[in-house]
Amino acid sequence: MAALSYTDAVNEALERLRGVGFEHGPRFVNHAPMAAEALAHMGYTDEVPGWVDRNLRTRTYHDVPELRWAIDPADRAGWRAALGDFARVGDWTALFERELSEDAWTEVLARWWPRLLPGMSGVLTHGVIRTAHAVRAVAAAGPDNHRQLSELAQGLGYWAARYAGHGAEVDPDSGELAAGTGTGTGTDAGAGALGDRRRDDGRDRDHEHDRGHDHGEGDGDGHGDGDGHGRDPAARALDELVAEYSGIYATVAQRHPIPLIHSVTGPAAVRLVIEYLPPDQRWPSYRVARSLSRTMLDWFQATPRPQAPLPEAPDVDEVFANAVQIGDEHAIKLAEVAVRHEAIAPDPRHAAAAQTANQGLGRLYL
- DSSP string across 121-151: TGGGGHHHHHHHHHHHHHHH--S--HHHHHH
Mean pLDDT confidence for 170-185: 38
- Exposure on the CB side of residue 323, measured as CA atoms within 13 A: 33
The two most distant CA atoms of the chain are separated, in Å, by 59
Bin 307: left if φ > 0, else alpha if -120 < ψ < 50, else beta.
Answer: alpha
Mean pLDDT confidence for 188-196: 29
What letter does residue 211 receive in the DSSP assignment? H
What letter does residue 47 receive in the DSSP assignment? G
Q: Helix, strand, or coil here: 152?
A: helix
Please state, in angstroms and rounded to a whole number, the distance separating the CA atoms of residues 96 and 112: 10
Tell me: pLDDT of 229 over 80.
no
**pLDDT for residue 140:** 97
Mean pLDDT confidence for 281-301: 97
Pairing of strands 28-29, 23-24: antiparallel
Please state, in angstroms and rounded to a whole number, the distance separating the CA atoms of residues 66 and 99: 20
Partners of 61 in beta bridges: 24
Tell me: pLDDT of 183 over 60.
no
Please state, in angstroms and rounded to a whole number, the distance separating the CA atoms of residues 324 and 251: 23
pLDDT tens column, 199-214: 322 333 444 444 344 3
Please state, in angstroms and rounded to a whole number, the distance separating the CA atoms of residues 276 and 139: 9
Place 217 in a pLDDT band, splitting at 50, 70 and 90: very low
Q: What are the angstrom distances between the C-alpha of 17 and each of 53, 187, 336? A: 10, 36, 21
pLDDT tens column, 127-160: 999 999 999 999 999 899 999 999 999 999 999 9
Helix (H) or strand (E) holding 94: helix 89-102
Please state, in angstroms and rounded to a whole number, the distance separating the CA atoms of residues 47 and 7: 14
Please state, in angstroms and rounded to a whole number, the distance separating the CA atoms of residues 169 and 232: 23
Place 11 in a pLDDT band, splitting at 50, 70 and 90: very high
Q: Which residue type does 6 have?
A: Y
Partners of 164 in beta bridges: 120
Mean pLDDT confidence for 85-92: 97
This prediction has a pTM of 0.86
